[in-house]
Amino acid sequence: MKLRIIAVALVICASLPVAAVEAPALVGAWRAVTYVIDGKPYPLNGLFIFTAHHYSANVRFKMSAGPNDDANGNAGPYSVSAGRVVFSQWVQIHVRPGSAKEPILSRAGPDEAAEYRIDGQRLTLTFPSRNQYILERVAE
C-alpha cells in the first residue's frame, strides 16, 4: 500500500509544472528592498509577484540626479532549474532619466537568467552582470 501511495505521489509530481516543482518558494509577493548595481546598493521600492508560471516586477530607485526616479518594469513567464531562474520578458521597460543615450526603453526583451537564493524571508536575484535585486517576502 505504501508503495502505491509513493507511486501515485511521483506521478502527480511529474505532472506538475517545472517552476511549481523546483521553486515553490518563489511563488508569492516580494517587496523590493535593495538594488545592487556595480557593487553599490540603492534603496529599491516596488513589488515582484511570482505565480507558478509567470512573474511581474515593477520597481523604482534613485540612481540619477534630478526629480525623476529610475525604474524597471518586467513581466512574462519564467522557468527554474538548478538554482537559476530564466525570465522571458514579454514586457521590458527601463526609465533612466540620467541617460543621454537611452532614457526610456520599452520593448519585448530578451530572456534573462539570474541565480536565485532564498534565505528565510529574503530572496536575492543575482544577474550575470553581478547586479542584484534583494527582496523580502510580503506577508499576506
- pLDDT band per the 50, 70, 90 thresholds, residue 4: very low
| DSSP H or E stretch at residue 5 | helix 2-15
pLDDT in tens, 10-66: 333 344 444 444 568 899 999 999 999 999 999 999 999 999 999 999 999 999 889
Find all residues with CB under 8 Å of 140, minimum gap 6, and list them: 28, 29
Residue 2 confidence (pLDDT) above 70: no
pLDDT in tens, 74-100: 999 999 998 999 999 999 999 999 999
Q: How far is the CA of 75 from the CAs of 15, 40, 42, 72, 95, in angstroms?
A: 25, 25, 22, 10, 15
Which residue type occupies 100? A
Task: Give the domains, in start order, of the chain with CATH numbers.
Answer: 18-137 (2.40.128.280)
- pLDDT band per the 50, 70, 90 thresholds, residue 8: very low
The pLDDT, as a whole number, for residue 22 is 53
